[in-house]
Amino acid sequence: MTNATRYAVRWLVFTALTAAFIAVAASADTIMLKTEAYVKGPMVTLGDIADIAGPNAEQLAALEVSSAASPGSSKRIDSQLLKMRLNGAGAEGVELQGAGSVLATTLSLDLSREVLTDDLRTYIQTQLPWSDAETSVDILVEPNPVTVPEGEVAVRWMANPQYRWVGQGSFRGDVEVDGKVKRTVFAQANIEAYAEVLVCALDIPRGKQIGATDLRFEKRALSQQKGDAIQDLDEIVGMIARDSMFMGETVSRRSLVPKQVIKRNQTVSVEAQAGGLVVRSRAKALDNGGAGDVVRLMNPDSKAEFQGRVRPDGTVEVMQ
């Protein structure tokens, strides 16, 4: 439906509801047009642009006479147009006085570049996932200033769902007035987070079990880390270096593997539950495995293969 059609429908509905009671006492009402008026929009009512007296003042004031100009702009409404609107509403006898036309200016709010930039910066700071990190936020491309209708204004910022909240990112802001989106702005920002992460205190060869003295904490820029930087020493002590790592290199999870609790071809203890009973026996491991890993095993007598989950103490729990 076009704006013109929508306005026509609204006009017909309003006319049907108001014509009957406006016509009854129209001759007793007077309308004094103002020279200029400020309106909220999106429609201009008779009460916005005139002082009305009489028994039907409230109903006449609610009469929509024109669409409003865009926020911050003005439009002139001629008294002849008002007479047509009044006649259409059944108020032919209403006395129209005052100015021959009214300059109606739509109230507006100007959101400056600085205001929008500060709002974006606040949004970013509330969304950052980094704990114990020092963060710098640089707005690379500031949002353009906008003018919106007067009302309760809020900006709903959104980042790309794939953004990791570090490095450069693009942001979109929907400017809402009284809960309705009126304008959309765009911006770009660069976020840098600095945090204490674990790095190698010395060269660590491939296959070495990690000890606490092999590592130290250093403050690093998270955007420069290749993998997931680690901030908890207890999380990785006892793990095995997947590849050789060098002094000063940031330790990431992809660089480590769990310590092998059992090795391939090793004879291990296995446990199986049957009702309330626990049956213990021995089996041959067909895979290497760390705590929590599922490995294949073989019964040394029947040669039948089965699976079990490795416990931290090296015992394998048979999977049913």
Regarding whether 95 and 12 lie in a shared domain, the answer is yes
Greater confidence (132 vs 299) lies with: 299
Q: How confident is the model at residue 49 (pLDDT cuts 50, 70, 90)?
A: very high
What is the pLDDT, as a whole number, of residue 77?
94
User: Environment class of residue 285 by beta-carbon count within 10 Å: exposed (0-12), middle (13-18) or buried (19+)?
Assistant: buried
pTM above 0.75, yes or no: no
Residues 99 and 7 in one domain: yes
Q: What's residue 3's pLDDT?
A: 52
The enclosing domain of 217 has a CATH number of: 3.90.1210.10
- Is there a contact between 52 and 30 (Cβ–Cβ < 8 Å)? yes
pLDDT band for 230, please (50, 70, 90 cuts).
confident
Evaluate if residue 25 carries a pLDDT over 50: no
184 and 200 share one domain? no
CA distance 53 to 151: 28
We report the CATH number of the domain holding residue 97 as 2.60.480
Q: Verify that 149 and 230 share a domain, yes or no.
A: no
Residue 74 pLDDT exceeds 70: yes
Q: How far lies 85's CA from each of 15, 31, 46, 82, 273, in Å?
A: 9, 13, 10, 5, 89
- With a cut of 90, say whether residue 275 has pLDDT above it: no
Would you call 207 helix, strand, or coil by DSSP? coil
Which of 141, 169, 191 is at the close of a domain?
191
Using the predicted structure, report yes or no on whether residue 196 has a pLDDT greater than 60: yes
Domain shared by 71 and 10, yes or no: yes
Instruction: Judge if 69 and 10 occupy the same domain.
Output: yes
Q: What percent of the chain has pLDDT over 90?
A: 55
Q: Are residues 132 and 143 located together in one domain of the fold?
A: yes
**pLDDT at 252 (0 to 100):** 86
249 and 270: one domain? no
118: CB partners within 8 A, 6+ apart: none
CATH of residue 271's domain is 2.30.30.760
CB atoms within 10 A of CB 5: 9
- One domain, residues 13 and 94: yes
Q: In Å, what is the CA distance from 133 to each residue of 50, 129, 164, 195, 309?
A: 60, 9, 15, 5, 38
Q: Residue 186 and residue 64: Cα distance in Å, rounded? A: 35
The position carrying tokens 């987070």 is: 193
Of residues 92 and 207, the one with the higher pLDDT is 207
Three-class secondary structure of residue 241 per DSSP:
strand
Range(s) of the domain holding residue 76? 3-106
Same domain, 83 and 68: yes
Preceding omega of 300 cis (within 30 degrees of 0)? no
Mean pLDDT of the chain: 87
Q: Are residues 214 and 253 in the same domain?
A: yes
The pLDDT-based confidence of 132 (bands split at 50, 70, 90) is low
3-state DSSP: the chain helix, strand, coil percent, rounded to 5? 20, 45, 35
What residues are paired with 156 via a beta bridge?
Answer: 174
Of 72, 89, 106, at which residue does a domain stop? 106
Domain count for the chain: 4
Q: Where does the pLDDT of residue 2 fall: very low under 50, low under 70, confident under 90, or very high at 90 and above?
A: low
Residue 204 burial by CB count (10 A; 0-12/13-18/19+): exposed, middle or buried? buried
Take residue 175 and report the two structure tokens written for it.
């400017």
Per-residue model confidence as pLDDT tens digits over 113-127: 999 999 999 999 899
What CA–CA distance (Å, rounded) separates 299 from 280?
A: 12
C-beta neighbour count of 221 within 10 angstroms? 16
Of 257, 273, 300, the domain-final residue: 257
Question: CA-to-CA distance for 11 and 22, rounded, in angstroms?
Answer: 15
User: pLDDT tens across 153-175, in order?
Assistant: 999 999 998 898 888 999 999 99
Q: What pLDDT does residue 17 have? A: 46
Mean pLDDT of 284-293: 90
Question: Residue written as tokens 């130290």?
Answer: 216
Q: In this model, does residue 144 exceed pLDDT 90? A: yes
Same-domain status, 101 and 14: yes
